Structure 1
Amino acid sequence: MTEALRFLFGGRARRRWIHLILGGALAMPYVLVGSVIVGPFTGVNDVFASLPLQLGSFAVGLPIAAVTSLFPLTRPLESGAARALCGVGADALARGPARTRAERGRTAAWFTLHLGLGGIISGMSLAVPPFAVVLIVLPLFASLRDRPLGLPESLDHPWALALSPIAGLAMLLTLAACAAACGALLARWAPALLGPTPEDRLAAAEARAADLAVRNRLARELHDSVGHALSAVTLQASAARRVLDTDPEFVREALAAIEDTTRRTVGELDAVLGVLRDGDTPGTAPAPTLAADLDGLLRRTRAGGQRVTATVDADPAALPPLVSREAYRIVQEGLSNALKHAGEPVGLRISTADGHLEITVENPLDTCPAPRPGGGHGLRGIADRVRLLGGTSQAGASDGAWRLHVRLPLKGST
Structure 2
Amino acid sequence: MREFARFLLGRRTRRRWIHLILGGALAMPYVFVGQIVVGPAVRARYVFADLLAQLLSFAVALPLAALTAALFPLTRPLEAGAVRSLCGVGAERLSSSPARGRAARGRAAAWFTLHLGLGGIVSGMSLALPPFAATLIALPVVAVVRDDLLGLPEALDRGWVLALMPVAGVACLVALAACAAVAGGLLARWAPALLGPTPEDRLAAAEARAADLAVRNRLARELHDSVGHALSAVTLQASAARRLLDRDPEFVRAALTAIEETTRRTVGELDAFLGVLREGDAPGTAPAPTLAADLDGLLHRTRASGLRVTATIDADPESLPPVLSREAYRIVQEGLSNALKHAGRPVLLRIAVTCGHLEITLENPVSATSTSTSACRPGGGHGLRGIADRARLLGGTVEAGAAHGVWRLHVGLPLKGPA
TMscore range, shorter length:
0.7 to 0.9
Please say which of residues 236-245 and 215-224 is displaced more in the overlay: 215-224
Matches within 5 A, 1:1-400: 9-35=9-35, 37-38=37-38, 41-42=41-42, 44-49=44-49, 51-69=51-69, 72=72, 75=75, 77-86=78-87, 87=89, 89=91, 92-96=94-98, 106-130=107-131, 142-143=140-141, 148=146, 153=156, 156-157=159-160, 165=167, 171-190=172-191, 193-194=194-195, 198-199=199-200, 201-269=202-270, 272=273, 275=276, 278=279, 287-289=289-291, 291-306=292-307, 308-310=308-310, 312=312, 314-315=314-315, 317=317, 320-340=321-341, 342-345=342-345, 347-350=347-350, 356=357, 357-361=359-363, 363-367=366-370, 377-394=382-399
Distance 1:347 1:228 in 2: 16
- Identity rate of aligned residues, in percent? 63
Change (3 A) 1:218 1:173: same
Task: Give the conservation status (yes or no) of the 8 Å contact 1:344–1:367.
Answer: no
Task: Give the conservation status (yes or no) of the 8 Å contact 1:254–1:304.
Answer: yes
Q: Which amino acid aligns with 1:344?
A: G
Task: Give the conservation status (yes or no) of the 8 Å contact 1:330–1:382.
Answer: yes
Task: Give the conservation status (yes or no) of the 8 Å contact 1:25–1:119.
Answer: yes
Distance 2:6 2:405 in 1: 68
Could you tell me which runs of 5 or more consecutive residues in structure 2 were left unpaired when the two chains were aligned. Answer: none
Change (3 A) 1:286 1:392: closer
Q: Which amino acid aligns with 2:141?
A: S
Q: CA deviation at 1:245?
A: 1.6
Distance 2:286 2:54 in 1: 71
Which residue of the partner structure matches residue 417 of structure 2?
A: 412
Task: Give the conservation status (yes or no) of the 8 Å contact 2:69–2:109.
Answer: yes
RMSD: 4.4
Q: CA deviation at 1:277?
A: 6.3
Distance 2:345 2:47 in 1: 98
Task: Give the conservation status (yes or no) of the 8 Å contact 1:311–1:349.
Answer: yes
Distance 1:177 1:153 in 2: 28
Q: CA deviation at 1:120?
A: 0.8
Query: Taking structure 1 as the reference length, what is the TM-score of the superposition?
Result: 0.75
Write out per-residue CA displacement over residues 10-51 of structure 1, whole angstroms, 9 at most, x where no aligned residue.
544333221110111122343344445555555554554565
**1:143 match: secondary structure:** coil
Distance 2:285 2:109 in 1: 49
Distance 1:400 1:171 in 2: 93
Q: Which amino acid aligns with 2:219?
A: L
Task: Give the conservation status (yes or no) of the 8 Å contact 1:239–1:304.
Answer: yes
Change (3 A) 1:42 1:72: closer
Query: Taking structure 2 as the reference length, what is the TM-score of the superposition?
Result: 0.75
Q: Which amino acid aligns with 1:113?
A: L
**1:366 match: secondary structure:** helix
Task: Give the conservation status (yes or no) of the 8 Å contact 2:73–2:105.
Answer: no
Q: CA deviation at 1:330?
A: 1.5
**1:345 match: secondary structure:** coil
Change (3 A) 1:88 1:129: farther
**1:412 match: secondary structure:** coil
Distance 1:316 1:4 in 2: 83
Please say which of residues 265-274 and 230-239 is displaced more in the overlay: 265-274
Q: How many residues align?
A: 405
Task: Give the conservation status (yes or no) of the 8 Å contact 2:229–2:333.
Answer: yes
Write out per-residue CA displacement over residues 194-225 of structure 1, whole angstroms, 9 at most, x where no aligned residue.
55665555445444433432332233222211
